[in-house]
């Protein structure tokens, strides 16, 4: 009976630690805009739940749109990128698919392409969110009423 109680307490502690870890504030490490149709936002992590990821982006959307304006009337995409193991370069990771930024004299100016969330916005359509995990891709829409609706799942 004591072993069962210890296991339950251990499982509870692990779950609590994971939740606390995922609740820490998301840091934006770098933002790049092509000033045409795409903005790349590099973050240290994203919230755990899909609804929290979308909420995080929506709470920063207006600021990103003001700081990194894109051309009106054409489709836009905001690529939220996970920094993973940090910034790197082609010498250290020659076989990886890297996205590199102009970051001054810093030789570690690339990250491995990993897009856990992409927000797509097209004129006269709902805003679309694509959230990727290791197992699947989930698609959501932000309706004109401000509701987040699940649209479909891809493998």
Provide the residue range defining the domain that includes 77. Answer: 26-154
Q: Which residue would you say has higher pLDDT here, 76 or 109?
A: 76
Residue 84 lies in a domain: yes
Q: Is the pLDDT of residue 18 over 60?
A: no
Asked if the structure places residue 143 within a domain, the reply is yes
pLDDT score at 84:
80
Mean pLDDT of 55-59: 95
Residue 63: both structure tokens together: 């600021």
Q: Does the residue 30 lie in any domain?
A: yes
Highest mean pLDDT out of 2-6, 50-54, 82-86: 50-54
Is 5 a domain residue? no
Return the minimum-mean-pLDDT range out of 21-25, 57-61, 92-96, 108-112: 21-25
Q: What is the 3-state secondary structure (H, E, C) of 44-106?
A: CCCCCCHHHHHHHHHHHHHHHHHHCCCCCCCCEEEEEEECCCCCECCCCCCCCCEEECCCCCC
The phi-psi region of residue 79 (left if phi > 0; otherwise alpha if psi is between -120 and 50; otherwise beta) is beta
Residue 20 belongs to a domain: no
**Residue 91 maps to a domain:** yes
Percent of the chain with pLDDT strictly greater than 70? 89
Range in 11-15, 100-104, 109-113 with the lowest mean pLDDT: 11-15
Average pLDDT of span 1-20: 68
55, part of any domain: yes
Tally the domains of the chain: 1
Give a yes or no: residue 3 inside a domain: no
């Amino acid at each position: 009976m004591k072993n069962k109680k210890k296991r339950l307490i251990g499982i509870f502690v692990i779950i609590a630690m994971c939740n606390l870890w995922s609740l820490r504030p998301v840091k934006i490490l770098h933002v790049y805009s092509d000033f045409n149709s795409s903005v790349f936002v590099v973050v240290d992590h994203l919230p755990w739940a899909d609804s929290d990821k979308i909420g995080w982006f929506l709470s920063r959307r207006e600021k990103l749109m003001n700081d990194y304006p894109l051309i009106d009337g054409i489709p836009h995409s905001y690529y939220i990128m996970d920094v993973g193991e940090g910034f790197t370069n082609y010498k250290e990771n020659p076989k990886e698919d890297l996205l590199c930024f102009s970051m001054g004299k810093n030789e570690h100016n690339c990250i491995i392409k990993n897009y856990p969330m992409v927000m797509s916005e097209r004129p006269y359509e709902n805003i679309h969110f694509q959230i990727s995990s290791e197992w699947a891709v989930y698609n959501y829409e932000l309706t004109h009423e401000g509701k987040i609706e699940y649209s479909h799942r891809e493998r």
